[in-house]
Each structure stands twice: as C-alpha cells, then as structure tokens.
Structure 1
Amino acid sequence: MFQSRNDRCPAEVYLDNNATTAVLPCAAAAVLHHMQTCFGNPSSSHSTGIKAKVELELTRQLARQVIGASRGQIVFTSGATEGIQTSIVSALLDARSRGQTGPQTLLLYGATEHKAVPESLKHWNQVLQLGATIKAIPVDQHGILNEQVMTELLPQAALICTMAANNETGVKQDLAKLETLIRKVNPSVRWMVDCVQALGKMSLDIANSSIDYAPFSGHKLYAPKGIGFLYVREGAPYQPFIAGGGQESGLRSGTENLPGIAALHAIFTELLKPAGSVFHSVDTLWSYRQQLLAALTELFPQLVLNSDAPYIVPTTINFSVPGFLSKDILDLFDAGNIRVSAGSACSSKASGSFVLDAMGLEEWRSQGAVRLSFGPAMSAAEIDAACRAIRRLVPVVRNCCLVLNDAQHSMAPPLAGLTQLKYEDLCSYLLVCPQSREAVVIDPVEPLMNRLVQLVQGQGLQLKAVLETHQHQDHPSVRVDFLNALGMHQPVAIDDNGWPAVAELKVGAFVLQTLATPGHSADSHSFLLYRGQQLLAAFVGDLVLPGGFGRLDLTGSDSQAFVQSLTQLGKVLAADTLLLSSHDYAQRFFTTWRLMTAENPEITAVLQAGGLSSTWRDKLAEQSQQLQQQQQYQCGIVEVSYSDAKALIGPADIAALLRQYPQLQIVDVREPHEQIAGEIEPLLPTGAKVQHWPLSQLAWALMSGAIEPSQQLLLVCRSGNRSLLAAKILNRLGFDQVYNLKGGVALLS
C-alpha cells in the first residue's frame, strides 16, 4: 500500500480505500493459484473441474457465514453495479406482474445513495415501462433517513433502496430500526440494501432480517476488481440478469470468475478468524481514525467534519476546510504523495457533493469536501506513516500562507507581480511590488476573501487599496468585509470603486491609472497597470471578457457608452496588452486587444463606424435572449472553443524531446504549495531546465517576459489537465512551440 518513488520523493500513502483497495497478499496468492494450478471450469465434470466447483461452493458457504445468511441465495457477480441492476430488475418485474405500475406506484431510494441506484431505477423504470414515480427519501444533517417521510411514502412503494454505510461520509443506517418501520408500514415492499461499504466495518445479520437483496463488491475489501456477490432472500422474486449456459444454478449465466472467487475465499477466511486476522476490531479502527484526525487538525486547525460518531463507520473521514475547495486540498495532498478523494470516485468531476447537499450542509462544505478512507486491514505502521506524511505538509501549508500562522521563514518565494485567483468563473487579482511589498487587491469576491486575507497577512504586505472595477450585479461587494478581516478601516477619501483621491495610484514600482469605461454598468472603470512607461495590462471588469464581452441588457447598461469606452481603450492599449476581466466563463484566464477584436468582428465594425449598426443591435438582442435563458446568472456571453496544444508528450518521450530541443524549458504550472510539497526535478532527466510558473501567475509570466512565444515549452502539472489548459491559453496568444506532458506528474512518479 506504500511505495517509494525514489530517495528524494516520499512513499505513496493511499487513503482512498472507499474507492478501491489493494489486493491482500493472501488474496493475490489465491488468484494466482487458481489461474495457474487450480484453473478448471466449475461446470466441467472431470477432476480439474470438480476441484474448481468445490472452491466455488466453499466460498459460497463462507460468504453466508460472513454476512450471517444461513438461508437465501448467494450469487457471484461481476460487482456491485451488476448486483444492483439484478435486484432492481427482479423487483420491478415482480411489481409489474402484480399490477404495480403508473405514477401512483413509488420507487424509493435514500437521497445519499450511490448514483448507481437512482440511475438504475430511472433506466429500468423506463425500459420496463412501469411508468412509476421515483422519489428520493430525504436525510437529516447527520445523513440518517427521514422516518416520517418514509412512513408517508411506503404505502405506495413497490421497492425501497437503502444502504448500510455511505461511500462518501461513512454514515451507517440502523438496519434493524429501518426494518421495523418498513415492515410495519408495508410488509410486502421489496427492500434492497447496498452493503458495499459494510464488510469488515460493521456487523451484518442478513438471515434474521427481511432484506430482499444485498449486493457486495470484492474490490472494496482487498479482492480484485470484477468480482462480487448478491444475496437474495429466500422467497424473494428473482429474474436472472444474464442468460446463457445456466451457471450459478441458472441464476447468473457465464463462466464463473474462479480466480476472483478464490480471492473472496481468502478474504472471507481472514474475516472469520477468531484471532490473528489482518482485519482489525472496530475499537482499533476508531483509534486509527483519531490518530489521522489529530494529524489533519494539525495541518488544518479550522477543519470541520461533515460526518462523525456515532453515525458513521470509523474508516471514513469526510471533512472540509473554510476557504478551500476540495480540488485545492486534493492537489496539495497529491503533491505530497497522499491519495485522497473529493467524494465518490464515480462523481469526482462534480463541483460539489450531492451527498452533503442532501444533508443540508452549507455550500462551502459541499464544494470543499474531502474524503479520506482507510481499510479495516490497515496496519499500525501504515497509519503512523500516513500521519507522518500529513504532518510533512504542515510547514508547506503554513509557509505558503494557506493558513495563518506565526512562521518567520517561508519556504515559498515572496509573491511578486500579479496573481490571478479564480473561483469557478469569478476572478480576483493581487498585485504585489516585490521591492516595497506594497499591494493592491482588485475585484475581491467572497469565496476568495479568506485566501486573499491569508496572502496579505502571511506575506506581510502593505495594502494600498482594495479596488472594484464596478458594482457587480451577480454578487455583493466584500470590500468592507475584506478590510475588516485585515483589521483595517475603509479610507474616507475614496470613490465607490475604492479608488483614492489621487490621479495615479503608486504600488512600489507599479502605477495604476483609472479610466471611466461605462457600458456594462454606469459605474464601470478600467484600471491601467504601468511599470515605468510600459503599459502591462488593463483590468477591464466585465466590459470585455476572454472570448466575448459583457452583457448590455442590465439596469445601467448603455450600448452607446460601451462603444465609446472601447474606443477610449483602443487609443491607449497596445495590440498585445493583456485584458484582465472579472469573469472568465471559458477558462481562458485573459485576452488581448488583438484577440478581442479578432474574435468579435461585430465590435471591430462598430469601432470603425464609431457608432451602432443594425448588425450590432441584432447581436445585442441575440445576446440578451441567450443570457435570459441561462439557468445561472452570467455577466456576458463568450464563445467556448479552444485550440489544442501542439503535441502531447508521454513521460518516456521527455529525454528525446530534450535532445531534439536543448533549449527546451519545462514549466511547472502547479501552485507553489504543490511545487514545494512534491518536487518535480527528481522525476525528470538530468539537466532538464525547470521554471516554476503557477497557473495563477501565468499572466505575470507573460507581462514580465519570463516566457515568450519564441521559446520551446513543455508544460507540466499534476494530472496534465491544468498544463493542457495553459497550453491552450498560450496557443491563443501565438505560442507555437508548446508541448503538454500527458498524465502530468502522476505518470512520472
């Protein structure tokens, strides 16, 4: 479970066991034995087949003992998803045969169930044409099913699906209590219980319950992927999901996965040992949890648990940290070679956790949720190693100003130039003079406020101003709250955008000038950023967006003023001056005057004509209609289309690329805390030149001339996604020798 990459890189710590587990040595040995020695087909009548059949039936008997099911069927499957499908199809066909069809018939499931359950219900309800109504049973803040709602809905239900333990939060349902309620209200309703996360973590007594179906999965408990089993209560309706040769007594056709079943045999044997098992007692697992929590709290003192005792199994820790998205913590942990997840591995691309949403927890907790899960066979040595790995990140987090602290020395270089912070489509900016340590914040937003406060305080910056390009209509101003968080009072002599009573705002070697640019709103201003006589960038609010322009159908919008404002900007901006916006709906980070006019030919025509045209009016009407149809408020419309990076480079190709291009610059676009937590240099060929330019400082890398279109660049990040995004951004700006490392640091390790 722990592997070392090399002497300079710490061993991998795997804490995502709810997603999948390593195969236990005893299970791996059993797999190999039944692949090479006892490899017979259980359906064959000769001696080799008979041996295989004996193994099959012995494992079936062990499964009965493990789950406490002396009666009923144990059917070997490919895993939990197949077991869920089989259960649902069986129950729905039975319902149809009993005339339970139409919208008055209910199919119930817990609101926090794994997506495999509601998606299967929707699919088979449609395929089998039941026309039933599918309803989620709400849960309380602890994740426990609402008994009152169940009591109201159960009389009309043909099927109810619950789970023993939740895969994201570890919340366990009281199955005995549920059974009493279910059978009191509706004795004939079919009941499926997802037991995937239960084995080895909580006791099961299936035989003494009225559970009709219970699917299990092997790879969640140290067996290989592709093997599982389904319990079917004696007398419960059953429809074979796979027909064919009649294996499994006709209950599931297809040659049995004997190596996988042999692995289950080894796992079950360990579970049933009275002493000396690799699986630990519940008390031991709770002590492991406390050790991990102590290390996590040392790393993140403000950590908040999203689920906790007595409502959970001990092996899952689901937490959030104020000011952090789950991706921020995942990137940090992954750089430190610690593997955790943001919830279900099947839904890791979601922006928040539907499970925590169903529990009614705050949005920041849902969007910042991190799941750490260990298995019941985790050793004390592995827990100690995991705690040490987490604590190794403490100085990284503190010295990179991810949390406030009294550290005197930073491992990260002091901030310099411009940092662009993003939350979904919102952009905030921090400008820092490296010499004077003076700073300005532009367009702060609530989700990024804590991060900005930590950077200003942690870096010891002297804040000169907090500016807003305009009063945004999609979110309130946090300028006063931001200053209060820093213990500062808002200056009296400032305008509504935070601009002080000066013609130019000096920030060390930088100078900002303000320019009224109404159009998107009446109070819109652009801030021009100079260093000496050189115009570096313009903060344009929502007047111009990367790939589009701001909406002009709002209260205070003025299309004629918009044209005049662009005309003003066109007189002072160079073609390649960076335009930095308040929103970025297309993940392009910034644009330039040249790109803006090229991508919006209507604007070019309007600027040339010096006024409105029928084509422009039609464009605005079309934009207004599109924006009004959006489900979420947007401050403008952009065309979302990307150019591709010149080429994807596999890890094995780096050395050859360096020989071909000796001047090749490798650019690490991970954030500073990731770069420090997980060095990239030891993983690269000797002599590779590495620059560290986080994606948040890509704009400054361009403005400062650190990277130029003439250079050959190989971009690298954790997974290859952010570096590909950076490559696309640079391609738009005319960089034509940009490569992206496929799979990122993950495939280098």
Structure 2
Amino acid sequence: MSTASAQHQRLRQQEVYLDNNATTPVLPCAAAAVMHHMQTCFGNPSSSHSTGIKAKVELEATRALARKVIGASSGQIVFTSGATEGIQTSIVAALQAAKNRGQTGPEVLLLYGATEHKAVPESLKHWNQVLQLGATVKAIPVNSQGLLDLDFIRRHLPQTALICTMAANNETGVKQDLALLEKVIRSANPDVLWMVDCVQALGKMQLDIANTSIDYAPFSGHKLYAPKGIGFLYVRHGAPYQPFIAGGGQEAGLRSGTENLPGIAALHAIFTELDKKAGSVFQPETVLWQYREALLSALRAVFPTLVLNSDAPFIVPTTLNFSVPGFYSKDIMDLFDAAGIRISSGSACSSKVPSSFVLDAMGLESWRSQGAIRLSFGPAMTAAECETACHAIRRLAVIVQRCCLVLSDAEPLSDNAVSGLTQLKHEDMCSYLLVCAKSQQAVIIDPVMALANRLANMVQGQGLQLVAILDTHLHQDHRSARDDLTALLGLQQEGATDVLGWPFSQAVIECGDYQLSKIATPGHSAESRSYLLSQQGVRVAAFVGDLLLPGGVGRLDLADSDPAAFQQSLKTLNRMVTPDTLLLSSHDYAQRFFTTFAIATKEQPLFGALLTENDNPPGWLQTLRQQSAALCQASQYQCGVVEVSWSDAKAVVDTPELQAFLQQQPDVMVVDVREPYEQSAGALGPYLPEGTVVQQWPLSRLCDALLSGALRKEQRLLLVCRSGNRSLVAAKVLNRAGFAEVYNLKGGFAMLS
C-alpha cells in the first residue's frame, strides 16, 4: 500500500461503541470458547461416546455456574435461544396453567409494566389469543422515575393470573426494587405467577433469585458479551412449566433440540469471569459509576443544557438516557454516528418524529421523549475505553458550536456559515431560512415552534441581521413561532408589521442580493399569500404556503377556504413565475421538498384545467368533495391531500460495485447529502476510493443547490449518506425534477466502514 493510501485509510475513524444495551461484542475468552467447542470439543451432549460425554460435562458445568451467578440454588436452568424464547416459554406455561385452573374471560388480568420491552406485551397479547383465554392484558403505570405503581398492583393483583416486570429497563436503566415488589405481590396474591425480565440485570446489579418467589426469569447471552442465539431461563421449583419446543427430549424434556454447545461454552466463559473474586474483566459497581460520571461530563461539554431522563439512585450505572432541548434524537444520533460513536434513541423509526414509549409512560414532556438518546456501556468496559469514548464525545463540542447547533460565548464562526436557502423540517412542516452571506442578512419564512431554537441559534451563531420573520398564512394545525423568535432574538418589531409579519413600510423586502415581494393568494385561507423570491432581479422561487403542496393541494374545506379564489390564485401565481420555478410549501407530506407548475400539471392533470378554464372545470368540485372527505377521516390533521408515488427512484449502486462504477463513470459527481454537522464530524472521503472528489449538498440545502445551479439536470450524480436512506430520498426528489442520471449508494458508506 502506498504512503498516501495508508494515510487515506488511517483517516477512517475508530468506532466507539456505546450501545451495549442493544448488543455487545463477544469477549475474547468467550470467542475462544466458541471456537474450541466448534472445532475440538464439538460433540453432541446427547451422544453416549467420549466426545459426547465431554460435551455433556461442559453443558452441566455451565448450568451449575448459571445457578451460582444468579443465586439460584434450586429451580430449573433451561438453555434457550435467547430472551425472546425465554419470555414466550414463561408466558405460554403461565397462561396454560391459568387456563387449566379455569382462569379465563375478561375479568382475568395479565399485567405487565408499562415500560417493559415490547417482547413482553406483544407475547402476552399473542398467546392470550392463541390459547383463547380471553383475558384482559393491562399495563401497570409507572411514575416519573420509571418505578412501578405499587398501589395499582395491590388493587389489580387479586384478579391477575400473571404479572410481568423487569429487573432493569433497557432504555432508561431504571431498576425495580424486587424485594419491595415481591412483598407487595405476595401480600396481594400469594398464588399469582410472576415473570421478571432479567436481560439487562446480569453483571449490573445483584441477583439472588433463589431467595425470591420469582417464577420465571429469562436471560440473554448477547447482552453480556456472548454470541447471539444463546440464553437461559430460570424456572422456580414448583412453578408450572409447559415445554415450548417438543422433540428429542433434550434439557430433561424441558426444551427439545440439540443444545447450542458453542453458545453455552461462551456463557461458561462469561459466568467464570462473573464468578471471579478478583481479576475479572467485569468492573465493580463503584468503577461503573465512575465511568458513568466521566461520560456524563463529556456529554455536558458538548450539550450544556442536557437533561437526564433517569438518574441515580433508581438506575443501574451502565445506562445514560438524556435529551437536549432543541434536538431530536435523530439529530444527535446522526452527529455521533458521523463521528464514529454508536448510540441509540431507544425508539423505533416512523414517518413522524419518533418518541420513546418508555419516557411517554413515565409522563415526561414530549420534547424529552422525541429527543431521547440512550448511551449504554458494558460492565467489562476498561478505563482506556472510557477515556477514548470521552475524548471522542468532547471533540464534538467545537463542531456543534461551529454548525450553530448550540450557542457559545465565542465570536460568531464564519468558516461554516450558511448561505442561500435552507429548508428545515419538523415532521411534515417546513420552515425556511434565507441568508445573504455578503450582507449577513437573513429572512425566516413559516417558522415552526419546534424549530425556533435551531433557527435562533443559526441566526445568532453566525451574527446575522434578521430582516423579517414571515408567515404565508395563519396556520390551522400549529402556532407560528414568529413571536417566540422575535423574543429569542431581541427584535423590535411590535406594531411595525401586519398579521403575517410583513413590514408595513416596505413593498419589497431586501435581503442583500435577494428580494422578496408579496402577492395575495387566498383559497386555502382568506389571508393566504405567496412570497416571490428574486436574486439580483431574476425570479427564482416562490414560497406558496399551503396553496400548493409537493404532490397535491392545500385543503379547501376550512371555514374561510374558497375554491373559486383558489383557482384565481393559481392563475395569478402561474402568470408571475415560469413552469420550472421552484414552489416551496409550508408542508411536505411526501418527502418531495418542492414542486413546480410543470411537475404539478404532470402529476395532476386537473391542474391544467384549473389554469386554463374560466371557472370550475369538470370534475373539480367532485374532486374537492372527495379530498375533503379523506381529510376529515384522517387520523391526524392534515393541511392538504397528497398523492404519494414510490416510482421515483432510479438506479442504485451496491457498495461492492462502487470502485468499478467510479472508474467506469469518471465524470460522475459524488454528492454527500448529510447535514453540515455530520460532514464536519466525519468526512466521507476516507470511505471512498482515493482521489474521489466529494461535493457537499445537505438534504436541507437541496433546494438551494437547484436555485444556485450547483446541481444541473445534465449532470451524472452519485448521492451518498450514512445509510442510503436520505440519499435515496434525494435521488427521488431529483429524478422527479427531471435529472436523468441520479444514482444512490445502496446501504450508504456505513457498508464501506
């Protein structure tokens, strides 16, 4: 390898893995045990020859160690494929026992903690239906610390057949007081069956299961440095048990199927380390708390306003769950991932801003739930690993300041200044920041409350002079952030503007090289207007509010909507722009970013009639009635109807083909569509073939790339992001706009790292 190539490779960031609650790397001693039992001691424990006998000895030695590390001197230890199987087995056994006792019907309760892993409530619902108990599955509320409501348990337990709780929560690290919980459970219902999910407990908190009345306790290997596909289940002596898997009678008939001996050998190695009195790879609890404090200090150096969603003394030390005002979890995850730091949000993705059902159950504010980040380390973390993680986190402080994600006392930084048009989104709502870099002037259009802090940081962080804050109409579905931004930025505009923020004294708003003029475009609402954007006298775009949407039209069934006025507004706007002028809306339900009259007419032929007919073209009123009915039936408020098409994507490039593709297409422009803070945190270049030139056009600046001519329809483009998802969105947008050769790197550069 050449010196340049070696340096190119060294630029790739070392991965800092801080998502151990999701899974862990396999410890070297466990990996060695796996290989030994795959290649040397590979016998079937059911075989009677010497090789099988050796395997059987390993199996039973591991079972004995499992008893020791969880404090289970009695009861059964059953090896499983992991926690999900253990949960299913426990629930099936308990529900079958309830059915045999005649505990059926809706008055019988199946209780679970509201913050349980989804595997528990989903399994309860599934097997309740399959076994036809007809019982009522009910969540136990928690308080703001995530602790179970004991009064609720006392009231409902007499009617309960099975109660499911956790030892430690996977998102927040909150641990339940099992001794107190047992006292409450057994005083209210001595006979109720009790399952405790112990997946996040082993190695992080003391367990003494034999001295409890816990009936079932599932464990998972891959949460504690063993491979995936191995776990075990504790079953209390005398607790009902129904084999979940029947067959050859392995595990004393409790769980058939040839045992996963390599996985069990890995558990043996893990249990041996846990059992050591000294010299173990597992750190004592006091050291884990020290690591937590060091990591928290590093996080606060980056985000001074960080708020913890769970804290001592209610948690295990290895989990940090936090939120930062003004940030969604995806923002922070993308930033950290670009820097090679792996964390998680603890919540599933959706078309909306995802929220944490765990934090929702705790009653925390929505911004904390939508912005929740889980940083989790393992009990085998070393001091060197902690130091490396803290250093990697702290280096992000200057990046979030330079990109104006947070404000600092430093002078405004101009090396990463935003220029031109930035489109920011919250769920389906769009806000726009227009900046003239030369004059350092800015205009904000359709500010959304959830984006107010971000917009204020961008204005203040770059030392911009805010010329105006405008709304295109009085929004029905959300409150404008105009007044809040005025207060945040200390502007003096009271009485100087109309109801939508336009200065009374100005016919045209000057923003350096940009000019904004206004035209009335009623229809969606009576006061709706559009703002025509010109650059050095050339009209380049229009901010149209909810008059037109990318892929549809604004709703026309509001109290002050007027379909006739809508048609006239379309005609007025059409006369003042070209067919290819970008039309920028205040909502984007289909991830299309903009529309034009040419695109709108092609996508919805009725537009052609609306623009040419004198009034009410055939089919128009019927279409309106259908749209109104669809909007009224929608599960949430929408400002318009959009036809979503999934046929916009063109070509993808698989990562193994990348080098050959770039050699065959030397004129292709590689475009990084990640946001500026991600690009600053982790350069894309080292993941691509040496010498590849990368253009940086974030998704939020895609419209500006078109306005400025930086991206042109005749160019051949390869779009790249971390996972391939955002670059696919950008590819669809550009293909829709008429770009003929747009390629997407499938799987993103994560597949190259």
For 2:394 and 2:342, how far apart are their aligned partners in 1? 15
Choose the corresponding residue for 2:723, options 716, 719, 723: 719
Q: Is the 8 A contact 1:471 1:497 kept in 2?
A: yes
For 1:543 and 1:434, how far apart are their aligned partners in 2? 30
Structure 2 SS opposite 1:28:
helix
For 1:13 and 1:415, how far apart are their aligned partners in 2? 30
Q: Which residue of 2 aligns with 1:574?
A: 578
Q: Is the 8 A contact 1:16 1:371 kept in 2?
A: yes
Q: Which residue of 2 aligns with 1:541?
A: 545
Q: Is the 8 A contact 1:546 1:586 kept in 2?
A: yes
Mapping 1:338-349, distance limit 5 Å: 338-343=341-346
Q: Is the 8 A contact 2:8 2:690 kept in 1?
A: no
Q: CA deviation at 1:657?
A: 1.7
Residues 292, 284 of structure 1: alpha-carbon distance in 2 compared, 3 angstrom cutoff: same
Residues 368, 392 of structure 1: alpha-carbon distance in 2 compared, 3 angstrom cutoff: same
Q: Which residue of 2 aligns with 1:462?
A: 465
Mapping 1:605-644, distance limit 5 Å: 605-644=609-648
Q: Which residue of 2 aligns with 1:673?
A: 677
Choose the corresponding residue for 1:652, options 652, 656, 663: 656
Q: Which residue of 2 aligns with 1:508?
A: 512
For 2:397 and 2:9, how far apart are their aligned partners in 1? 22
Q: Is the 8 A contact 1:400 1:412 kept in 2?
A: no
Letter in 2 for 1:183: R
Structure 2 SS opposite 1:422:
strand
Letter in 2 for 1:240: P
Letter in 2 for 1:27: A
Q: Which residue of 1 aligns with 2:752?
A: 748
Q: Is the 8 A contact 1:341 1:348 kept in 2?
A: no
Q: CA deviation at 1:344?
A: 5.4
For 2:493 and 2:175, how far apart are their aligned partners in 1? 50
Q: Is the 8 A contact 2:648 2:733 kept in 1?
A: no
Letter in 2 for 1:677: A
Q: CA deviation at 1:434?
A: 1.5
Q: CA deviation at 1:406?
A: 2.6
Q: Which residue of 2 aligns with 1:303?
A: 306
Q: CA deviation at 1:533?
A: 3.0
Residues 335, 215 of structure 1: alpha-carbon distance in 2 compared, 3 angstrom cutoff: same
Q: Is the 8 A contact 2:8 2:686 kept in 1?
A: no
Q: Is the 8 A contact 1:428 1:441 kept in 2?
A: yes
Q: Are residue 413 (structure 1) and residue 426 (structure 2) matched?
A: no
Q: Are residue 446 (structure 1) and residue 426 (structure 2) matched?
A: no
For 2:131 and 2:348, how far apart are their aligned partners in 1? 29
For 2:396 and 2:699, how far apart are their aligned partners in 1? 21
Q: CA deviation at 1:532?
A: 2.2
Choose the corresponding residue for 1:589, options 586, 593, 605: 593
For 1:477 and 1:100, how far apart are their aligned partners in 2? 54
Q: Is the 8 A contact 1:159 1:189 kept in 2?
A: yes
Structure 2 SS opposite 1:220:
helix
For 1:572 and 1:349, how far apart are their aligned partners in 2? 35
Structure 1 SS opposite 2:9:
coil
Q: Are residue 553 (structure 1) and residue 550 (structure 2) matched?
A: no
Choose the corresponding residue for 1:689, options 683, 688, 693: 693
Q: CA deviation at 1:690?
A: 1.1
Q: Are residue 701 (structure 1) and residue 709 (structure 2) matched?
A: no
For 2:571 and 2:206, how far apart are their aligned partners in 1? 73
Q: Which residue of 2 aligns with 1:112?
A: 115
Q: Deviations over 1:209-241 (max 9, x none)?
A: 110000000000000000000000000000000
Q: CA deviation at 1:347?
A: 9.4
Q: Which residue of 2 aligns with 1:336?
A: 339
Letter in 2 for 1:674: E
Letter in 2 for 1:603: F
Q: Which residue of 2 aligns with 1:27?
A: 30
Q: Deviations over 1:310-341 (max 9, x none)?
A: 10000000000000000000000000000000
Q: Are residue 233 (structure 1) and residue 232 (structure 2) matched?
A: no
Choose the corresponding residue for 1:170, options 168, 173, 178: 173
Segments of 5+ residues of structure 1 without an aligned counterpart are none
Letter in 2 for 1:200: G
Q: Is the 8 A contact 1:19 1:344 kept in 2?
A: no
Residues 260, 345 of structure 1: alpha-carbon distance in 2 compared, 3 angstrom cutoff: farther
Structure 1 SS opposite 2:734:
helix
Q: Is the 8 A contact 1:151 1:181 kept in 2?
A: yes
Q: Are residue 48 (structure 1) and residue 45 (structure 2) matched?
A: no
Q: Which residue of 1 aligns with 2:370?
A: 367
* Runs of 4+ with deviation above 3 angstroms: 344-350, 408-412
Q: Are residue 396 (structure 1) and residue 394 (structure 2) matched?
A: no
Mapping 1:214-293, distance limit 5 Å: 214-293=217-296
Q: Which residue of 1 aligns with 2:81?
A: 78
Q: Which residue of 1 aligns with 2:3?
A: none
For 1:184 and 1:644, how far apart are their aligned partners in 2? 62
Q: Deviations over 1:354-378 (max 9, x none)?
A: 0000000000000000000000000
Residues 228, 659 of structure 1: alpha-carbon distance in 2 compared, 3 angstrom cutoff: same
In the superposition, the TM-score normalised over structure 1's length comes to: 0.98
Residues 282, 29 of structure 1: alpha-carbon distance in 2 compared, 3 angstrom cutoff: same
For 1:565 and 1:462, how far apart are their aligned partners in 2? 32
For 1:60 and 1:608, how far apart are their aligned partners in 2? 80
Choose the corresponding residue for 1:90, options 85, 90, 93: 93
Choose the corresponding residue for 1:327, options 322, 326, 330: 330
Q: Which residue of 1 aligns with 2:4?
A: none
Q: Are residue 437 (structure 1) and residue 440 (structure 2) matched?
A: yes
For 1:623 and 1:641, how far apart are their aligned partners in 2? 17
For 1:346 and 1:19, how far apart are their aligned partners in 2? 16
Choose the corresponding residue for 1:159, options 155, 159, 162: 162
For 1:348 and 1:629, how far apart are their aligned partners in 2? 19
Letter in 2 for 1:239: Q
Q: Which residue of 2 aligns with 1:428?
A: 431
Letter in 2 for 1:203: Q
For 1:409 and 1:473, how far apart are their aligned partners in 2? 36
Q: CA deviation at 1:387?
A: 0.2
Q: CA deviation at 1:346?
A: 9.7
Structure 2 SS opposite 1:158:
strand
Aligned length: 746
Q: Deviations over 1:250-297 (max 9, x none)?
A: 000000000000000000000000000000111110000000000000
Residues 659, 9 of structure 1: alpha-carbon distance in 2 compared, 3 angstrom cutoff: closer
Q: Deviations over 1:28-53 (max 9, x none)?
A: 00000000000000000000000000
Q: Deviations over 1:672-697 (max 9, x none)?
A: 11001101112211231211000000
Choose the corresponding residue for 2:497, options 476, 494, 498: 494
Residues 346, 583 of structure 1: alpha-carbon distance in 2 compared, 3 angstrom cutoff: closer
Residues 429, 349 of structure 1: alpha-carbon distance in 2 compared, 3 angstrom cutoff: closer
Mapping 1:9-24, distance limit 5 Å: 9-24=12-27
For 2:677 and 2:466, how far apart are their aligned partners in 1? 23
For 1:490 and 1:64, how far apart are their aligned partners in 2? 71
Residues 411, 333 of structure 1: alpha-carbon distance in 2 compared, 3 angstrom cutoff: farther
Q: Deviations over 1:34-90 (max 9, x none)?
A: 000000000000000000000000000000001000110000000000000000000
Letter in 1 for 2:721: C
For 1:43 and 1:407, how far apart are their aligned partners in 2? 70
Q: Is the 8 A contact 2:414 2:462 kept in 1?
A: no
Letter in 2 for 1:533: G
Q: Which moved more, 1:99-108 or 1:639-648?
A: 639-648
The alignment's C-alpha RMSD in Å is 1.4
Structure 2 SS opposite 1:6:
helix
Q: Is the 8 A contact 2:348 2:354 kept in 1?
A: no
